[in-house]
Structure 1
């Protein structure tokens, strides 16, 4: 019976790892669609978002089934509850990639971003994809130090996000209000994507140590 139960916990981990891969791929494609005004790629992100939603639904179904039928305690209970919360964070990461893709589609065939801010978003996209990959690894390995290491990448994302505001507030900004709004919103999407990735990593730390990191 215990072996079966551990297999069911393993299914939860598999599904969360799969979600992390899906949202990383979604953000990679959404970023490329944003930078290259690629409508087909943006549409692909929109079409595939349902897979993320369906996987979250499966995670919740499995997790609630374990809570109802197995009445887990201690570490197992932490694992099940954390899986529910992590699935929520991962779905939100998928939604944020979706928002980026929608921006690319909305402005097509025009580019969303002025040329002088495109390098910032290329780098923010790179960091976002890296974070999603590291989340996948942390879910698989439950490596506490690796989980804590995501904070550094999040700091890098925060630095880029803050720098965007200096660009927007510069007297040299000549692209108008609409472009400024787009840049502000898109920057926020990437920043929140990173925050949710860190949240998943913190839940892994909680599962392993029994303590939720506060910073």
Structure 2
């Protein structure tokens, strides 16, 4: 019975990694479609989000069955409950990648953002791609140094997000209301994607250490 239980736990972990890989792929494609106004790539991201949703539901059902039938305790219980929470964060990251792709599709053949903001958003895209890639590594390795890297990338994105809102609130901002809304929404999507990545990193840290310290990855 214990062997079957451990196999089920392994399958939950494998599903988390699979979802994370799909989220990473979605974010790479979404940011590219956003940067170069590629409507076909944007549509790929939008269509593929259903697969992420399906896998999240499948993982949650498996985890709930384990809770109901196996009665896990201690570290195993942390693993199951943590997996439920991490799958929710990963699913939301998939949604945010889809939102970015939807913006690209909405404004095609034009770019979503004005040229003056290109450098800022290119950097945000690069950081979110880094977070997405590192999450998969973290879920496979549980290396807390990777978790700390994710926190650092998130801090950089927060700074960029703040700079975007300062720019659109400045007197010299002359873009149209529609462009202003697009810029604000896009920045929020990039920023929230990173926040959910941090949430996953913190939960992995908890699984490894057994102590809930939300800022541990940032200060250790």
Deviation at 1:78, TM superposition (A): 0.2
Equivalent positions of 1:125-136 (< 5 A) are: 125-136=125-136
Q: Deviations over 1:93-120 (max 9, x none)?
A: 0000010011111111222110111221
Q: TM-score, normalised by structure 1?
A: 0.96
Question: How far off is 1:193 after superposition?
Answer: 0.3
Q: Tell me what 1:102 maps to.
A: 102
Q: C-alpha distance in 1, partners of 2:121/2:75? A: 40
- 1:44 aligned residue: 44
Q: In the alignment, what sits opposite 2:191?
A: 191
Match of 1:169 in 2: 169
Q: With structure 2 as the length reference, what TM-score do the two structures score?
A: 0.94
Report how many aligned residue pairs link the two structures: 215
How many angstroms does 1:19 deviate by?
1.1
Alignment partners' CA distance in 2, 1:109 and 1:36: 9
Q: Report what 2:60 is aligned to.
A: 60
* Structure 1 residues not aligned, in runs of 5+: none
The C-alpha deviation readout for 1:145-184, integer Å capped at 9, x for no partner, is 3223321111011111111122212333221221111101
CA distance in 1, matches of 2:202, 2:58: 22
Q: Which residue of structure 1 lines up, in the alignment, with residue 157 of structure 2?
A: 157
Corresponding position of 2:218:
none
Q: Deviations over 1:104-140 (max 9, x none)?
A: 1111122211011122111111111110111111111
Residues 1:75 and 2:75 aligned together: yes
After TM superposition, which residue ranges in structure 1, 4 or more long, deviate above 3 angstroms?
Answer: none
Which sections of structure 2, spanning at least 5 residues, go unmatched?
A: 216-220
